[in-house]
Amino acid sequence: MLEKMEILDVEKLIGDFEVMTKDAENVQRETLKMILEENGCAEYLQNMGLNGRTDPESFKACVPLVTHKDLEPYIQRVADGAFSPILTGKPITTISLSSGTTQGKPKFVPFNDELMESTLQIYHTSFAFRNREFPIENGKALQFIYSSKHSKTKGGLFAGTATTNVFRNSQFKKAMTAMQSECCSPDEVIVGPDFHQSLYCHLLCGLIFHEEIQLVSSTFAHSIVLAFRTFEQVWEELCDDIREGVLTSRITFPSVRSAMAKLLKPNPELADLIEKKCSRLSNWYGLIPELFPNVKYIYGIMTGSMEPYLKKLRHYAADVPLISADYGSSEGWIGANINPSLPPESTTYAVLPNIGYFEFIPLKENVEEHMQENGNVSFLSTEPKPVGLTEVKVGEEYEVIITSFAGLYRYRLGDVVKVMGFHNSTPELKFVCRRNLMLTINIDKNTEKDLQLAVEEAAKLIAEEKREVIDFSSNVDVSADPGHYVIFWEISGEVSDEVLKECCNCLDRSFVDAGYVSSRKVNAIGPLELRVVWKGTFHKILDHYLGLGAVVSQFKTPRYVGPTNNKVLQILCDNVAKNYFSTAF
């Protein structure tokens, strides 16, 4: 436990942030200089002809924009144990594995001490602003966090998911303690080898410390919703454990059982209290504050692909504030949420100008010409030059480019963001979507956000029957001509065929992209298909990714299942209960 004097100085953190963001342009130049000086001896930069120059102009002239595919051979050599500096001056000792839900398989990403320092800076900065609005005082946190096992690459480097590399770092626990939000679960639960057992124990720990819990959190909103959906199924068993002081036999790992035995004592009064609370709840509304009466807020990433879970999370939370966590990826961090009182749908992220060098490709200016050649539509596009951090314009959308301390140079992150304003001279960004997650057949372009809005609109029809969409995904079926969109829904109960047919029509009408609408009207795109899958199908997808080494705290349901995700598509198709075709056009 840290001494009191080691608790974070919130006002100093905010003051430092204010100073830094007032001079964002110069901070960016200095940050790039530091990155290039530290890594100038690396083979990758040596080959670019910088010759020791560290100014942004030379950097942009010599170093090309890249994707992960371009850097993959270099990263693989690092993972294989290459002795000479490849991407960074200092050796990379750890590899982060992305979740794999976007491309169907995990990516290798370099992870080093500097990236951990950036992580802690983001955590501390957002905590400072958050704690000013919602102060936590010596409370415990119910954190649904999970750490996968570290493996080793061919070259002997530690490899784990990005969240695992953070959670296992000794600095992480110190940071949580300094933020007065110590996790109520023992380490053995967090690093437990079976997610289902760890989740059960997280819930049990939360109940044991129910009056001390001031914060409920996880990396993603999905994990929090999943946890309390699970609580609905196991709450009686949890009460039995508490009443008898004996852990259920479903927990089989000795290390986890031993750690829980130190916490679990017979407490029939608490068991009776929980039973009383659960029995009086109507459809589990307000479950979280009912179980944890002193909870101040619920915290996790709630933007982008997590927005569809907000309705259910609000149902569990009642009046407890939802605060979206910070903006980053396996490749690095970008911004902190410094406006925690805003609802998740309105969350913006202020870019920290000293954690990396950032550029932005304007998207509004992309010129696309559609030309008819031999009966086929082709695309000619021109892409504008990237602009610097302080050169972005309010209201415009951009693709993010990051240059990090961990060996990624002018790396296209693939994220689309919108500039909502500036905090001093650093932009505040709203996450829009992943650029490469797109439903397209002809001249249509529908993003993940477009899909989400269509699903939300159609889901209103089943809400009238007290049903909800548990989860969803999509695919483009081009096995027949014309191709068509396929939307997969898992719903919470029985819904009549008549209503589901109208849901299908509503989905089709809700894609308002001009290319889609015009293509549907001339039958260049066929009628949309809604496939309703059996309950538990999306849990099978989760289990599939867990089997590949992913962790729940990093899991995102793939909203578009493309050709690289054949196994996931097979799971969806094998579990279709009903399907419907639109008659909307």
Given a cut of 70, whether residue 11 has pLDDT beyond it is: yes
Domain membership of residue 207 (yes or no) is yes
Residue whose entry in the numeric block shows the structure tokens 């589901």: 500
Average pLDDT rounded to a whole number, residues 318-342: 92
Residue 4 confidence (pLDDT): 38
Distance CA 419, CA 510 (A): 26
Choice among 25-29, 89-93, 131-135, 259-263 with the minimum mean pLDDT: 89-93
Given a cut of 80, whether residue 133 has pLDDT beyond it is: yes
Distance CA 7, CA 20 (A): 22
The highest-confidence range among 33-37, 132-136, 519-523, by mean pLDDT, is 33-37
Domain membership of residue 529 (yes or no) is yes
Average pLDDT, the chain: 86
Among the candidates 258, 290, 320, a domain finishes at 320
One-letter amino acid at 508 equals D
Given a cut of 70, whether residue 373 has pLDDT beyond it is: no
Average pLDDT rounded to a whole number, residues 351-374: 69
Co-location of 289 and 146 in the same domain: yes
Residues near 233 by beta carbon (within 8 Å), at least 6 away in sequence: none
Residue 380 confidence (pLDDT): 40
Residue 176 confidence (pLDDT): 60
**Number of domains comprising the chain:** 2
Domain membership of residue 393 (yes or no) is no
Residue 378 confidence (pLDDT): 38
Residue 377 confidence (pLDDT): 37
3-class SS of residue 285: coil
pLDDT class of 294 with cuts at 50, 70, 90 = very high
Choice among 145-149, 303-307, 460-464 with the minimum mean pLDDT: 145-149
pLDDT class of 490 with cuts at 50, 70, 90 = very high
Domain membership of residue 361 (yes or no) is no
Given a cut of 70, whether residue 375 has pLDDT beyond it is: no
Given a cut of 70, whether residue 437 has pLDDT beyond it is: no
Average pLDDT rounded to a whole number, residues 555-566: 83
Residue 568, burial from CB neighbour count under 10 angstroms (0-12, 13-18, 19+): buried
Residue whose entry in the numeric block shows the structure tokens 């942030």: 17
Element (H, E) at 110: strand 108-111
Q: Which domain holds residue 524?
A: 448-581
Given a cut of 90, whether residue 553 has pLDDT beyond it is: no
Domain membership of residue 282 (yes or no) is yes
Among the candidates 305, 320, 335, a domain finishes at 320
CA-based nearest residue to 91, from 407, 409, 410: 407
CA-based nearest residue to 359, from 332, 335, 389: 389
Domain membership of residue 571 (yes or no) is yes
Residue-wise pLDDT tens digits, 49-90: 888 899 999 999 999 999 989 999 998 888 887 778 989 888
Q: Beta-carbon neighbour count of residue 115 at 10 Å?
A: 28
Among the candidates 320, 349, 374, a domain finishes at 320
Domain membership of residue 77 (yes or no) is no
Element (H, E) at 308: none
Domain membership of residue 56 (yes or no) is no
CA-based nearest residue to 297, from 274, 327, 318: 318
Residue 440, burial from CB neighbour count under 10 angstroms (0-12, 13-18, 19+): middle
pLDDT class of 1 with cuts at 50, 70, 90 = very low
Choice among 144-153, 370-379, 526-535 with the minimum mean pLDDT: 370-379
pLDDT class of 26 with cuts at 50, 70, 90 = very high
Distance CA 278, CA 274 (A): 6
Residue 323 confidence (pLDDT): 96
